[in-house]
Amino acid sequence: MSNSYPQKLQFHIDGEWIDVGERDVHHVVNPATGKVISDLPKATRADLDRALDAADRAFPIWRDTPVGERAAILHKAADLMRERAPEIGRLMTAEQGKPLPQAIGEVTASASHFDIMAEEAKRCYGRVLVRPAGQNSFVKYQPVGPVAAFSPWNFPVFTPVRKLAPAIAAGCSIILKPAEETPASPIEMIRCLVDAGLPAGVAQVVFGDPAEVSSHLIASPVIRKISFTGSVPVGKHLMKLAAEGMKRTTMELGGHAPVLVFDDCDLEKTLDLVVTGKFRNAGQVCVSPTRFYVQSGIYDRFEKAFTERAAKVAVGDGFADGIEMGPLANPRRPSSVGDMISDAKSKGAEVMLGGHRQDKDGFFFDPTVLSHVPLDANIMNDEPFGPVAVMRPFDTLDEAIEQANRLPLGLAAYAFTSSLHTANMVGDKIEAGMVAINNLTVSPGDAPFGGVKESGHGSEDGPDGLKAYMVTKAIHQA
Ligand code: NAD
């Protein structure tokens, strides 16, 4: 099935699909085989200037297009995404590695984000302030302007949709640079918008050298807002670039999600959820459940049962039936995860399961469980972004909350308990943008998604996600 991947890819500027021509290319690799499957054109500076010009020209026209028309295009694009999900999912599995059902699920979930933002935009009401008769003061929300957005390779369609949907719904134009490693599925997502009738210039998609593209776009006076999903160091770098022009930013950066498992939880249900959740997308998820703090009374039972279940996770090519975990997405991941495991072992962690890159083509890694991991191990401090669960026991609620909050990161956090008091305390005291209790759902689309501390700032999704693409204006009439 991966044979259907296009051998030549295109980018999209001002309504035109653009071929490689004389441009440099990036070789796209199938992570299940390690083989090159396509060539992706890299945008030149002239291409980027053309994209900026197109976004600049399209913005005032799109801003003044009635919200109902903007919403109708987003709904139509959502319908096309659902129709084309099997085909777009196949491209994603070929370039990113995740099992096909997960890839198709990502596309349909992304479609619903277009629907949600289409409806949010219609209800983005301002307010009228109390003034004496004959005077009026209004507060209005207006689109911020052309946006530059950068999305990563772990969710090649979902992460850009979280930027495109609110930007387009709000009336902004946008230039998107998805990750070069996973280009075909976001290209097809953009094609859904184009086929749904999105006017030329409203959304462009470009690829290139990430640092060159971002520095060129962010420096342009055309761009008014930057949205990035990726690592903390790159997020900090882009914020510095944005500061030069005092540009608004949304930064969705790394996490290292704590999972607090209390003695009084429903153990079977907890295990069902967390083992599936841990190995989803091979753990390459910013909200992946990772640091398992398990209360002493059930630590041994939890560790044993988790390990038994993890040992049964079916690892293989994401196109094969029944596969639950594909390869890691690129050659950087197995070596980075492997280094973290070696470091943890050398500092005293017990390897309960796995721990190695698999001896076959592609970038496959064992589902891995590490127990009694010391706090000074790198893996307790930097997110592994791979299929590794790290475990430590705790005794008291206060200790669990202290451990959950000990890192400078705060994206998602999870807790499993049957005590309302514990649930309330965890919900209130954990420093994280999202806390899920007795479940792992943190991105339903209608709720804010974003981090605190070094995990970033600004929310994606829901009404907050739409407002991130708008500026607030007060108008006073005497
Ligand atoms: P990286 O830091 O080099 O890149 C992260 C992402 O940023 C990639 O998509 C990359 O294309 C992009 N990028 C890199 N430099 C850029 C620049 N100057 N301008 C614009 N975009 C740029 O790391 P990586 O090896 O791709 O991933 C490693 C780490 O990144 C992971 O361990 C994880 O912590 C983090 N990450 C987070 C997410 C997320 O969903 N928050 C997604 C992917 C990666």
In a shared domain, residues 201 and 302: no
Which one of the listed residues 120, 286, 303, 460 is annotated catalytic?
A: 286
Q: Inform me whether the pLDDT recorded for 14 exceeds 70.
A: yes
For ligand 1, mutation pick of 177, 234, 381 (most atoms within 8 Å of CB): 234
Q: How far is CA 17 from CA 4, 73, 201, 206, 307, in A?
A: 19, 19, 12, 10, 49
**pLDDT score of 3:** 53
In a shared domain, residues 222 and 368: no
Ligand 1 pocket, residue 234 CB under 6 Å: yes
In a shared domain, residues 232 and 193: yes
Q: Inform me whether the pLDDT recorded for 382 exceeds 70.
A: yes
Taking the CA of residue 180 as reference, the ligand 1 atom at the shortest distance is: 11
**pLDDT score of 282:** 98
Asked whether residue 3 is domain-assigned, the answer is: no
In a shared domain, residues 184 and 306: no
User: Cα of 459 to ligand 1 centre, how many Å?
Assistant: 19
Token pair belonging to 197: 């009738």
Asked whether residue 6 is domain-assigned, the answer is: no
In a shared domain, residues 267 and 188: no
Is 252 a known active-site residue? yes
In a shared domain, residues 277 and 195: no
Reported as a single tens digit per residue, the pLDDT across 438-471 is 999 999 999 999 999 999 999 999 999 999 999 9
Report d(CA 92, CA 88) in Å as an integer. 6
Ligand 1 pocket, residue 382 CB under 6 Å: no
Q: Inform me whether the pLDDT recorded for 229 exceeds 90.
A: yes
Which one of the listed residues 95, 181, 252, 324 is annotated catalytic?
A: 252
In a shared domain, residues 173 and 310: no
Asked whether residue 66 is domain-assigned, the answer is: yes
Q: Which long-range contacts (CB under 8 A, 24 or more apart) does 100-109 make?
A: 100/1, 100/318, 100/319, 102/280, 102/281, 102/318, 103/185, 103/318, 106/155, 106/156, 106/157, 106/158, 107/81, 107/82, 107/157, 107/185, 107/189, 108/81, 108/82, 109/158, 109/445
Ligand 1 pocket, residue 210 CB under 6 Å: yes
Asked whether residue 351 is domain-assigned, the answer is: yes
Is 120 a known active-site residue? no
Which residue's C-alpha comes closest to atom 20 of ligand 1?
210
User: Cα of 18 to ligand 1 centre, how many Å?
Assistant: 25
* Reported confidence tier of residue 209, pLDDT bands at 50, 70, 90: very high
In a shared domain, residues 161 and 229: yes
Ligand 1 pocket, residue 378 CB under 6 Å: no
In a shared domain, residues 18 and 140: yes
Percentage of residues in the chain having pLDDT higher than 70: 99
**What CATH number does residue 441 fall under?**
3.40.309.10
Asked whether residue 243 is domain-assigned, the answer is: yes
In a shared domain, residues 24 and 131: yes
**pLDDT score of 1:** 42
Reported as a single tens digit per residue, the pLDDT across 99-131 is 999 999 999 999 999 999 999 999 999 999 999
Give the residue-averaged pLDDT of 144-165. Answer: 98
Answer for the pair 255, 383: CB distance below 8 angstroms, yes or no: yes
Ligand 1 pocket, residue 152 CB under 6 Å: yes
pLDDT, the chain, mean: 97
Give the residue-averaged pLDDT of 241-258. Answer: 97
Model pTM score: 0.97
Asked whether residue 54 is domain-assigned, the answer is: yes
Reported as a single tens digit per residue, the pLDDT across 293-306 is 999 999 999 999 99
Reported as a single tens digit per residue, the pLDDT across 174-197 is 999 999 999 999 999 999 999 999
Task: Choose between 398 and 2: higher pLDDT.
Answer: 398
In a shared domain, residues 245 and 267: no
**pLDDT score of 97:** 98
Give the residue-averaged pLDDT of 155-165. Answer: 98
Report d(CA 404, CA 224) in Å as an integer. 36
Asked whether residue 1 is domain-assigned, the answer is: no
Q: Inform me whether the pLDDT recorded for 2 exceeds 60.
A: no
Reported as a single tens digit per residue, the pLDDT across 44-55 is 999 999 999 999
Token pair belonging to 226: 């930057």
* Reported confidence tier of residue 416, pLDDT bands at 50, 70, 90: very high
Percentage of residues in the chain having pLDDT higher than 90: 99
In a shared domain, residues 428 and 330: yes
**pLDDT score of 4:** 84
56 φ, ψ (degrees, to nearest 5): -65, -45
**What CATH number does residue 79 fall under?**
3.40.605.10
Asked whether residue 225 is domain-assigned, the answer is: yes
- List the domain range (segments joined by +) for residue 421: 257-446
Answer for the pair 17, 40: CB distance below 8 angstroms, yes or no: no
Is residue 437 packed enough to be buried (19+ CB in 10 Å), middle (13-18) or exposed (0-12)? Answer: middle
**Side chain identity at 285, as an amino acid letter?**
V
Q: How many domains does the chain have?
A: 2
Answer for the pair 185, 95: CB distance below 8 angstroms, yes or no: yes
